[in-house]
Amino acid sequence: MGLEHARPRGPLTASPTRCPYCHDACAPEADVRVCAGCLARHHAACWGEGQACASCGATDALARATGEQAADRASAADPAAASASQPGLLRRHARTLLAWEGLRVVFNVTLVLVAVAMLGPKILRPSYFLDGLVAALLANACFTLGPAAEVYLSELGVRSRWIRALLFSGGLLLSILVTMLATFL
């Protein structure tokens, strides 16, 4: 006895295609990128944020997806409607912000090690400890400039895998210098 294929009982309608990065629907007229490896559709901003396919990890996108020219014309005619089809800023940059939170641990551990190496047992004195606590709070406030700068550059269209490394390294080196100078004062 052979297997019978299930047949739909009613008319077929297209289901919404969801972006594997942000999980929002990709409207047919939205600005999308299609993965060359698995054909998953991503919002252009989501592809730019992740720099690769969120489904299979491939880094090559097809040049233009069907409907993008119409979306470009529609966004020029009605920018409000075009922006409504894009996912929110926080959702588009969630991976960036989470990556920076992981770097915050490295940042804080590095600064604590530098302070301990410079001050030794004096770091446990109440005056040094309170000054160090205030400095740590200020350093972490300044740390938030890194993810803010990366999100801002990404929104401006600057795409580079080196931006995060450069921002983090530069900020960490500056913080180490400030920590070293503060221990001498």
pLDDT per position as a tens digit, 38-48: 888 888 888 88
The verdict on residue 5 lying in a domain is no
Are 19 and 87 spatial neighbours (Cβ–Cβ below 8 Å)?
Answer: yes
Kindly report whether the global pTM for this prediction surpasses the value 0.95.
no
- Helices 145-155 and 163-184 cross at an angle (nearest 10°) of 150
* Tens-place pLDDT, residues 92-149: 788 888 999 999 999 999 988 888 888 788 777 787 777 777 888 888 888 989 999 9
Q: Which domain holds residue 45?
A: 17-87
Number of domains in the chain: 2
The verdict on residue 12 lying in a domain is no
Q: 3-class SS at 41?
A: strand
The verdict on residue 116 lying in a domain is yes
